[in-house]
Amino acid sequence: MRESRRAHLTGAEPVPARDPHRGAARGPDRHPRERTSADQDTRDGRPGARVAGVDPLLVKHAVAAPSAGELAADVRAGRTDPLTLVEQALTRLEACDVDVHAFVHVDASAALAVARNPPDGPLRGVPVAVKDLFDVAGQITRAGSLVPAGPAATEDGAAVARLRAAGAVVLGRTRTHEYAWGLTTQHLKLGGTRNPWDTGRVPGGSSGGSAAAVAAGIVPLALGTDTGASIRLPAAWCGLVGHKPTFGAVPLAGCTPLAPSLDHGGALVRTVADARLWLSVLGDVRLEARAPVAGLRAGVARALDTTPDVGVLFEQAVERASSCGIGVRDVALPPADRLVEVYLGVQAGEALAWHRASGRWPAHADAYGPDVRSFLEAADRADPDRLAAAQSLREQLRARITDLFGDVDVLFLPVAGCGPPTTAAPTRSALGPLRDAVLPLTVLANLCGLPACAVPVGVDIDGLPVGLQVLGPPGADSRVLDVAERLQVQLPWG
């Protein structure tokens, strides 16, 4: 376990100065002509945004807020209506997004127009948000970057279209780490999203804006993507359920890729029941009826590099699983350094190929943020055979994991070995320690296309959420959700 990790993640680099009259960060924190919640003062007229420290109002609202399924049920029963739900969401957004900066674009007039007569479906009238990688018709998908992005999308991405067909109302696009290539959702020039549990901390990434939108109680469901941790990490650090199903279960047509063979579509929600709901709407998988978890076998890797408080919460959650009749047994996973080496080889090779093919790299190298630019420069210098070698090792890894799932039904792992760093910490010097705290625990699911669901299991010594992830073999989406849902019931918190 690591006592010194937190010290490595509290480096000093000033955040953008704040305008005392607006509460928003100075400088190019958003793209021109795109209205965000930071364009307006908060509802009660307070002149500035809160900064570091746990915000009890944001947290209290988020924990108590209804789920997507509950809101949809209220609409069906006539207890509320879609227009009311969307108006409430916009009011909440205006009040608190000045603090968390979850959204990069909000189209309130379009959302209100749709809310007057949304399609019938399982999400009718439910306000949702989508990560700024998914195409939204009539809007420019900027992928969190200043690199020229091309014209506005002519149609919704496949996942967004399915959300709309189910009756959901899209409020806007949420902030992503640039091209989804990072764990913090911070950008040197565009600013970053803040964690609603402590606005001096990052929310995780790369789907940090989606996580903050749900955690702040603005929407109950937000689309994200997960290439190495990008749904599960912000879910863990924002006290949410983060779900990525089996590789290929969610269509990613009309979604900017990071590394296509690792990219998974998914969602950030408050309950595992909502994870079932969104997957039934968006996914190309058939979910089975809920089944008992007693008698299932869970594998647990014990020699994990975590801070003491994360380790204790993880072991307590495993004990609760055992009390539900889940058999727990120790397993040996591939060495962490080997996992990360293979993952980074595949990711860098595929990302470089896409940025070259799209004409972005190296033509617009100066427009990239320094971290993503450094990743692409390193990939450019890498041995051309690196990707082929990494893919070969990946196949060996998949075979080993297939054998492992012959002995266990699910795996339990922490989502991160530490809590979220401060918004000042994610400098280039802090990227290594942060990566080492997360990727050894998360990339297995992406390399092998495994379904994974992160659930909150408690709070650490700083009062910040900690998450556990349930992984299963490809295609075992129902089983993963069964176990995750049982854990969420057994581990009430907040």
- State the catalytic residues: 131, 206, 230
Question: What letters, b where the CB count within 10 A reaches 16 and e where it falls short, cover 461-484?
Answer: eeebbbbbbbbbbbebbbbbbbbb
- The backbone region for 418, taken as left when phi is positive above 0, alpha when psi lies in -120 to 50, beta otherwise, is beta
Reading the block at residue 82, the tokens are 């879609």
**453/487 Cα distance (integer angstroms):** 11
Positive/negative CA dihedral, 338, 342, 343, 348 = positive
Bridge partners (DSSP) of residue 224 are 266
Reading the block at residue 274, the tokens are 């909502």
In the numeric block, the tokens 């995750």 are attached to 484
> Which residues contact residue 344 at a Cβ distance below 8 angstroms, ignoring those fewer than 6 apart?
390
Torsion of CA 225, 117, 41, 139, to 10 degrees: 50
Bridge partners (DSSP) of residue 329 are 299
**305/228 Cα distance (integer angstroms):** 18
In the numeric block, the tokens 């948000």 are attached to 129
| No. of helices (H) and no. of strands (E), the chain | 15, 13
Start-end of H helices in 423-476:
428-447
Which of 107, 100, 55 is closest to 209 using CA atoms?
A: 100
Contact of 48 with 20, CB cutoff 8 Å: yes
**DSSP H or E segment with residue 340:** helix 336-357
**DSSP H or E segment with residue 210:** helix 208-215
**242/231 Cα distance (integer angstroms):** 6
Contact of 331 with 411, CB cutoff 8 Å: yes
Q: How far is CA 305 from CA 183, 298, 320, 332, in A?
A: 18, 20, 21, 14
Burial of 154 (0-12, 13-18, 19+ CB in 10 A): exposed
**196/270 Cα distance (integer angstroms):** 14
Amino acid identity at 440: P
